[in-house]
C-alpha cells in the first residue's frame, strides 16, 4: 500500500457554543490551522504517483477562498466547529473529488490533532 500526505495552512476564528461560560473555547478565538490530507493506493498510476500533488491545488483554493481569515461558524453554518468536525468536513470534501483520500487531520495548536478516518 502506498500512502502520501499533503499539508495545508489557514487562519480562522470560531466559537464553541454550549460550553460552560468559563471554558476558554466558549469565547470567540482563532487558530492557525494545519490540515493534512492522506491518500492511499495499492498501485501507482502510469506516472508513478498515488495522485499528483498538483491535483490537490483545488483543495488549497477551497481553503484559501472559503475558510482563510473567516469565522468558521458562519462559513460552515455550525455552532460547534471543532477540529474533529473540521477533519470530517475536509475528508468528505476531498474524498468526493479524489477517491484515494483515506483521512484528514486537523491541528489547532502545535500539540493537538484531530483525525477523521472512515
CB 12 within 8 A of CB 30: yes
CB 91 within 8 A of CB 103: yes
Q: Is 7 a known active-site residue?
A: no
Cell of 15: 466559537
One of 17, 23, 69, 84 is an active-site residue; which one?
69
Q: Is 108 a known active-site residue?
A: yes
d(CA 104, CA 118) in angstroms, rounded, equals: 10
User: Is 97 in a helix, a strand, or coil?
Assistant: coil
Query: Which residues are the active-site residues?
Result: 25, 69, 108
Amino acid at each position: 500500500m502506498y500512502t502520501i500526505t499533503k499539508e495545508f495552512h489557514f487562519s480562522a476564528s470560531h466559537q464553541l457554543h454550549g460550553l460552560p461560560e468559563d471554558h476558554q473555547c466558549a469565547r470567540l478565538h482563532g487558530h492557525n490551522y494545519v490540515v493534512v490530507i492522506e491518500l492511499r493506493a495499492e498501485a501507482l498510476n502510469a506516472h508513478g504517483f498515488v495522485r499528483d500533488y498538483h491535483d490537490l491545488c483545488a483543495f488549497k483554493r477551497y481553503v484559501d477562498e472559503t475558510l482563510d481569515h473567516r469565522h468558521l461558524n458562519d462559513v460552515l453554518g455550525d455552532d460547534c466547529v471543532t477540529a474533529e468536525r473540521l477533519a470530517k468536513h475536509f475528508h468528505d470534501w476531498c474524498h468526493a473529488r479524489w477517491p484515494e483520500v483515506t483521512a484528514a487531520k486537523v491541528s489547532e495548536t502545535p500539540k493537538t490533532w484531530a483525525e477523521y478516518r472512515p
